[in-house]
């Protein structure tokens, strides 16, 4: 997909005035956080599970090479194949070759963000193979020629009217505004294609080293039809998804659904282990796992290592005030929200994605809901520092930071300046105590008033309280 | 070579080379032990409490639960269910336990033993376990029970014996491991209620691509 992260500011400005998008985003803010909170409240051990999840992921990363090799050995033992792909290009070529060897014409796909990351659909199409997205949200987007704006609710930026119009344009059916009817249409349209597909491609939520299995977690059942009906099943996934045992996978399953949709458990949790057995009547004859690296191994041992714990639940974006205001497409690449602001610079380069880690108020909500305690604000700060050091920060911002640093290193000058500006701001605020317009910060005052500061600066109050013996 | 490139990059990041035999053995031993992590208290009550919890949670996930005293009562109950739904065909798993029952009562409903095909309206399969924690059924693929039966038909009827209800997933894994030591069945399905999607405006709709209805016949 085309990268528009460098135009983040412009994207965000357009998003803020997009009436349809703003209406649709209302569904994120009211839906997911409340559902998650309810699910968490029903499980008293939730926070303990989060701590264990963090520790287990850290253990896995510290032994990642061993677990990956063990996983591979067990896939092979079960009659499957493992393909290691350092780059997106390696992964695209590998998958295309498997499809071509099978003479594939159509490929059904379960929901997979890694296939978005490697631009798989475009590559298959360019080589005469038709990919068919089967997750309802992804199917809607494929018809519209769009990409997901959310990692678990891909079409969350759309409203019912949009889906209704899209289906009317593509299905030979009367226009409907009933979501149940629309879903039924998609079900009927896709049924024959599930059966006809030569290859089924799914992602994986986890890979189990112990058994050589992949697991997918879906509510629709599309992933299961995708991986059961075609003769070839390709799992496209990434190296950090490996877990040691079924018990360890279970720990993450208890965290995943609750953090993501607020469900107690997702409807279908399906383990796949190798191809069909000689006596089985259905199931794929070939089972391939494509292990995508794409910059992840470089995160091991570095400042971004904690990000490898991510289980892709989307809680961080569901709770992010910035995501909630501008939606996922504004971020300009595959992964939006706080987790995207950390991952995108790693995958497409900080020079293109520098604005993303800056699109945060550092309110800390993302970290507070993360099921594996990823310090997302800290990791975004890492990128800001990196950006500054590499002189990618805009001149005005660099000048501002340098000016601030000059005063911050000279406390008495700093205090004098803050006392003076405090007085000036209060003068500007007048009796109302609010400032309507302020030069240089119109980005703020164009949209809301600036409150005047309290009558005494922090340091003045501190000194008074110290003297008073508090 | 991608594989060595990836592994070497990981090892460089970890500040070590190829793991020593001792390091590898330590990790493999951890897998071998497959110890349980923290298990929520919710589903650790008495047998009766666990069974009640299973029924509650399954219903919460929008499954229908029909309790039957014995397995012998199943054919009549299935026949009634299909008649009420006006479904003329049933695709069945061929497990010996199911086949041993007298299915003549189904007449005139036609019974098939095969994989599921697009357009099938109802299937009947045997659950391996029920997991009370979230009202989840566990099924697995085998010659007698093709996986398509669990996903393609519009209605999925599942037989679960009360004695096969356990509290938590971990107990089910312990039993899955004993099925055929050293290898899992090709697929293990954990199913919690019927198919659904909220992809249109976050409004929940039942019956996306999998079964629109999940009915559990609970035996005993």
| Total-model pTM | 0.94
Q: Please give the backbone phi and psi of residue A67, each rounded to the nearest 5 degrees, phi first.
A: -65, -40
Average pLDDT, stretch B59-65? Answer: 98
* Chain A hits for B172, Cβ within 8 Å: none
Task: Please give the share of chain A, as a percent, with pLDDT higher than 90.
Answer: 83
Using the Cβ of A118 and the Cβ atoms of chain B, whether some distance falls under 8 Å is answered with: no
Q: Verify whether the Cβ–Cβ distance A66 to B24 is below 8 Å.
A: yes
Q: Is the confidence at residue A443, as pLDDT, over 80?
A: no
Q: Which of residues 93-122 of B touch A (CB under 8 A)?
A: 114-115, 117-119
Q: Verify whether the Cβ–Cβ distance A228 to B147 is below 8 Å.
A: yes
Average pLDDT, stretch A376-400? Answer: 90
Q: According to the model, what pLDDT value does residue A470 have?
A: 62
Mutate to test the interface with B, among A23, A28, A34, A65 (most CBs of B within 10 A): A65
Q: Is the confidence at residue B1, as pLDDT, over 80?
A: no
State in words which class domain B40-219 has.
alpha beta
Smallest Cβ–Cβ distance between A179 and the set B24, B38, B203 belongs to: B203
Rounded to the nearest angstrom, the minimum Cα separation between B198 and chain A is 8
* Chain B hits for A275, Cβ within 8 Å: 186
Q: According to the model, what pLDDT value does residue A30 have?
A: 79
Least confident segment among A189-198, A255-264, A304-313, A421-430: A421-430
Q: Which of residues 143-202 of B touch A (CB under 8 A)?
A: 143, 146-148, 150-152, 169-170, 173, 176-177, 183-202
Q: According to the model, what pLDDT value does residue A451 have?
A: 83
Neighbours of B136 (CB within 10 A): 27
Q: Is the confidence at residue B161, as pLDDT, over 90?
A: yes
b vs e for B45-83, b when ≥16 Cβ sit within 10 Å of the residue's Cβ? eeeeebbebbbebbeebbbbbbebeebeebbebbbebbe
Task: For chain B, give the mean pLDDT.
Answer: 97
Domain A43-297: CATH superfamily is NagB/RpiA/CoA transferase-like (3.40.50.10420)
Mutate to test the interface with B, among A25, A261, A268 (most CBs of B within 10 A): A268
Using the Cβ of A28 and the Cβ atoms of chain B, whether some distance falls under 8 Å is answered with: yes
Instruction: Provide the terminal-to-terminal Cα distance of chain A, rounded to the nearest Å.
Output: 59
pLDDT classification of A29: cutoffs 50, 70, 90: confident
Rounded to the nearest angstrom, the minimum Cα separation between A214 and chain B is 10
Average pLDDT, stretch B126-153? Answer: 98
Using the Cβ of A62 and the Cβ atoms of chain B, whether some distance falls under 8 Å is answered with: yes
Using the Cβ of B21 and the Cβ atoms of chain A, whether some distance falls under 8 Å is answered with: no
ipTM exceeding cut-off 0.90 for this assembly: yes
Residue of A nearest to B24 (CA): A66
Task: For chain A, give the mean pLDDT.
Answer: 95
Q: What is the CA radius of gyration of chain A?
A: 25
Structure tokens, B190: 């954990």
Using the Cβ of A4 and the Cβ atoms of chain B, whether some distance falls under 8 Å is answered with: no
Residue intervals of chain B classified under CATH 3.40.50.10420 are 40-219
Smallest Cβ–Cβ distance between B200 and the set A66, A183, A251 belongs to: A183
Q: Is the confidence at residue B64, as pLDDT, over 70?
A: yes
Using the Cβ of A261 and the Cβ atoms of chain B, whether some distance falls under 8 Å is answered with: yes
pLDDT tens readout for residues A401-439: 889 999 999 999 998 988 898 888 888 888 777 888 887
Spatial neighbors of A365 by CB under 8 A, at least 6 apart, are A319, A320, A321
pLDDT tens readout for residues A57-76: 999 999 999 999 999 999 99
Q: How far apart are CA A337 and CA B154, in angstroms?
A: 37
Q: According to the model, what pLDDT value does residue A429 have?
A: 83
Using the Cβ of B7 and the Cβ atoms of chain A, whether some distance falls under 8 Å is answered with: yes
Residue of B nearest to A67 (CA): B27
pLDDT tens readout for residues B165-200: 999 999 999 999 999 888 999 999 999 999 999 999
pLDDT tens readout for residues A258-295: 999 999 999 999 999 999 999 999 999 999 999 999 99
Using the Cβ of A182 and the Cβ atoms of chain B, whether some distance falls under 8 Å is answered with: yes
Rounded to the nearest angstrom, the minimum Cα separation between A80 and chain B is 11
Domain range summary for chain A, segments of one domain joined by +: 43-297, 406-467
Q: Which of A349, A343, A407 has its CA nearest to residue A380?
A: A343
Rounded to the nearest angstrom, the minimum Cα separation between A399 and chain B is 35
Q: Is the confidence at residue B3, as pLDDT, over 80?
A: yes
DSSP label at residue A264: S
Average pLDDT, stretch A319-339? Answer: 97
Q: Verify whether the Cβ–Cβ distance A273 to B196 is below 8 Å.
A: no
């Amino acid at each position: 997909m085309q990268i528009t992260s460098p135009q983040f500011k412009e994207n965000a400005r357009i998003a803020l005035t997009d009436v349809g998008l703003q209406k649709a985003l209302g569904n994120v803010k009211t839906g997911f956080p409340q559902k998650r909170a309810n699910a968490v409240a029903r499980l008293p051990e939730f926070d303990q599970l989060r701590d264990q999840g963090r520790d287990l992921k850290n253990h896995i990363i510290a032994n990642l090479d061993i677990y990956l090799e063990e996983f591979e050995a067990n896939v092979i033992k079960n009659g499957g194949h493992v393909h290691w792909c350092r780059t997106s290009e390696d992964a695209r070529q590998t998958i295309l070759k498997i499809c071509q060897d099978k003479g594939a014409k159509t490929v059904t796909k379960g929901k997979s963000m890694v296939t978005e990351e490697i631009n798989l659909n475009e590559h298959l199409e360019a080589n005469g193979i038709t990919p068919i997205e089967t997750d309802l949200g992804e199917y809607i987007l494929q018809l519209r020629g769009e990409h997901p704006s959310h990692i678990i609710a891909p079409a969350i930026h759309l409203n019912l009217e949009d889906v209704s119009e899209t289906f009317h344009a593509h299905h030979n059916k009367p226009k409907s505004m009933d979501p149940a009817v629309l879903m039924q249409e998609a079900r009927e349209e896709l049924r024959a294609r599930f059966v006809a597909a030569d290859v089924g491609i799914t992602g994986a939520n986890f890979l189990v080293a112990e058994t050589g299995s992949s697991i997918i977690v879906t509510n629709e059942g599309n992933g299961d039809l995708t991986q059961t009906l075609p003769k070839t099943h390709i799992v496209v996934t990434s190296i950090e998804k490996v877990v040691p045992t079924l018990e360890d996978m279970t720990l993450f399953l208890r965290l995943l659904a609750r953090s993501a949709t607020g469900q107690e458990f997702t409807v279908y949790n399906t383990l796949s282990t190798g191809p069909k057995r000689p006596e089985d009547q259905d199931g794929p004859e070939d089972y391939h796992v494509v292990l995508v690296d794409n910059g992840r191994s470089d995160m091991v041992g570095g400042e971004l290592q904690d990000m490898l714990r991510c289980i892709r639940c989307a809680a961080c974006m569901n709770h992010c005030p910035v995501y909630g205001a501008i939606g996922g497409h504004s971020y300009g690449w595959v992964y939006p929200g706080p987790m995207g602001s950390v991952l995108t610079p790693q995958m497409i380069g900080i020079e293109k994605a520098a604005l993303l880690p800056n699109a945060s108020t550092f309110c800390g909500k993302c970290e507070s809901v993360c099921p594996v305690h990823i310090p997302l604000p800290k990791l975004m700060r890492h990128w800001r520092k990196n950006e500054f050091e590499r002189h990618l920060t805009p001149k005005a911002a660099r000048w501002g930071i340098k000016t601030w640093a000059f005063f911050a290193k000279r406390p008495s000058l700093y205090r004098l300046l803050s006392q003076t500006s405090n007085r000036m701001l209060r003068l500007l605020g007048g009796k109302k105590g609010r400032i309507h317009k302020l030069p240089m910060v119109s980005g703020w005052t164009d949209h809301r008033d600036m409150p005047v500061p309290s009558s005494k600066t922090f340091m003045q109050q501190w000194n008074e309280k110290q003297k008073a013996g508090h | 070579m991608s594989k060595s490139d990836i592994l070497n990059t990981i090892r460089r990041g970890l500040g070590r080379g190829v793991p020593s035999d001792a390091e590898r053995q330590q990790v493999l031993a951890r897998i071998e032990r497959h110890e349980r992590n923290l298990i929520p208290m919710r589903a650790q009550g008495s047998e009766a409490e666990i069974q009640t919890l299973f029924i509650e949670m399954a219903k919460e996930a929008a499954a229908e639960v029909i309790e039957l005293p014995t397995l012998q009562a199943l054919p009549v109950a299935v026949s009634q269910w299909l008649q009420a739904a006006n479904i003329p065909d049933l695709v069945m798993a061929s497990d010996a336990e199911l086949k041993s029952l007298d299915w003549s009562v189904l007449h005139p409903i036609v019974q098939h033993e095969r994989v599921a095909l697009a357009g099938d309206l109802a299937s009947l399969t045997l659950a391996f376990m029920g997991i009370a924690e979230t009202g989840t059924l566990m099924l697995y693929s085998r010659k007698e029970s093709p996986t398509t039966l669990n996903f393609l038909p519009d209605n999925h009827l599942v037989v679960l014996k009360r004695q096969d209800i356990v509290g938590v997933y971990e107990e089910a894994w312990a039993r899955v491991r004993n099925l055929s030591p050293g290898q899992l069945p090709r697929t293990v399905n954990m199913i919690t209620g019927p198919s659904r999607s909220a992809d249109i405006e976050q409004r929940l709709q039942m019956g996306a691509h999998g079964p629109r209805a999940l009915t559990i016949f609970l035996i005993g």
